Amino acid sequence: MRAIQYSVTGEPDVLTLVDRPLTEVGPGEVRVRIHRSGVNPTDWKSRRGSEAGTPVHPAQVPNQDGSGLVDAVGQGVDAALAGRRVWLWEAAYQRPSGGTAQEYAVVPARHVVPLPDDASYDLGAALGVPFLTAHRCLTVTEDGPDRLGPGKLAGRTVLVAGGAGAVGNAAIQLARWSDATVITTVSSPEKGRLAALAGADHVIDYKQQDVVAEVRAIAPHGVHTIVEVSPAANAAIDAAVIAPNGSVSVYATDGGATTELPVRASMVPNARWQFVLLYTAPESWRPRGLADVAAAVESGAIRIGPDAGLPLHHYPLDRAADAHAAVEDAVVGKVLIDVIPD
């Protein structure tokens, strides 16, 4: 089978197309014939590593997210899963040969989720990292729900920083599915258009408008949950608009590796600054996140593509390096590798 791998950290050109033997499934595992591989910032950051030129042994097949057909099941796995359309999450984490940038991936059965027949492989490959991250961000507020779905966020206001990004788009869609009022900030009119297509109720261009004044005009008592992509730039704004007992969910470090928190402004409302990383998130949360994202897909509440505020960028498997470079260059939209072209 064809696979992309890297044996040394570095630039996208360390990604190499190779022929690898087909891996047999072990107990508790499934083998998935990958149709789409989704590329996220976490994938290029892992590939780049902390220092270029560091040997990677065994070689790593990249990319956490993907979708395809279950090709084989191992001992102890429900045989009915064979032949099912599925989406994968954290396929490559602590599994050098498990990434989705290959024609067949073997992963533990718990790392695949059924994909409805009316949901595209494109959608399946766009779910894992962005939507699970967004779910975690939206469910850490102290007096808020720990599940998402219709009515779960009714009467609550969510602020999504960077609503045109993949996680921002996911947070908007999940929050609106759960009946929250959604405010988002963007850096341009075009990104504002994309955030509105995702379902945001209010869009603020932070380069042209006073974010604190605009948010307070919409939510005089503050916002309950903030999904934050750039804490270094936005900490003061977040503290100024957070509601009593609200949470700032920080899932990225765009704009700086360190953040200065406004202590008094955060203390008065008893605000929580919650940092979010999927790989180390509590196991007690994970089944809830997976179930809710799957339910949103089943109900048709999750969309991708330009009409959903998430343009798609397709690359063939032999151009995986270009796909990684596009994400690293912060292309707006979702980057997908067509492992098996439709």
Residue extents of the structural domains in the chain: 2-129+311-338, 141-275
Q: Would you place residue 230 in the very low, low, confident or very high pLDDT band (cuts 50, 70, 90)?
A: very high
- CATH top-level class for 2-129+311-338? alpha beta
Beta carbons of 206 and 234 less than 8 angstroms apart: no
Which pLDDT score is estimated for 342? 75
Mean pLDDT, residues 40-65 taken together: 97
Mean pLDDT, residues 82-98 taken together: 97
**Residue at 252: amino acid letter:** A
Q: Rounded distance, CA 70 to CA 29, Å?
A: 10
Q: Taking the CB of residue 240, how many other CB atoms lie within 10 A of it? A: 16
**Residue at 38: amino acid letter:** G
DSSP calls for 197-249: HHT-SEEEETTTS-HHHHHHHH-TT-EEEEEES-HHHHHHHHHHHEEEEEEEE
Q: Would you place residue 341 in the very low, low, confident or very high pLDDT band (cuts 50, 70, 90)?
A: confident
Which pLDDT score is estimated for 88? 98
pTM: 0.97
Q: Would you place residue 209 in the very low, low, confident or very high pLDDT band (cuts 50, 70, 90)?
A: very high
E strand spans, the chain = 2-8, 16-19, 29-39, 55-60, 65-73, 85-88, 104-108, 112-114, 157-161, 181-186, 202-205, 223-228, 242-250, 272-275, 312-316, 334-338
Tokens representing 128 are 């894992």
Beta carbons of 202 and 176 less than 8 angstroms apart: no
- Which position has the token pair 């498997």? 317
Q: Rounded distance, CA 136 to CA 139, Å?
A: 5
For 191, the 3-state DSSP assignment is helix
Of all residues in the chain, the percent with pLDDT exceeding 70 is 100
E strand spans, 96-190 = 104-108, 112-114, 157-161, 181-186
128-138 vs 286-298: helix crossing angle, rounded to 10: 110
pLDDT in tens, 18-43: 999 999 999 999 999 999 999 999 99
- In whole numbers, what is the pLDDT of the chain averaged over residues? 97
For 97, the 3-state DSSP assignment is coil
Two domains, one topology: 2-129+311-338 and 141-275: yes
**Residue at 238: amino acid letter:** D
The CATH number of 141-275 is which of 3.90.180.10, 2.60.40.1220, 2.40.128.20, 3.10.450.50?
3.90.180.10
- Which position has the token pair 């591989």? 37
Checking if the pLDDT of 12 tops 80, the result is yes
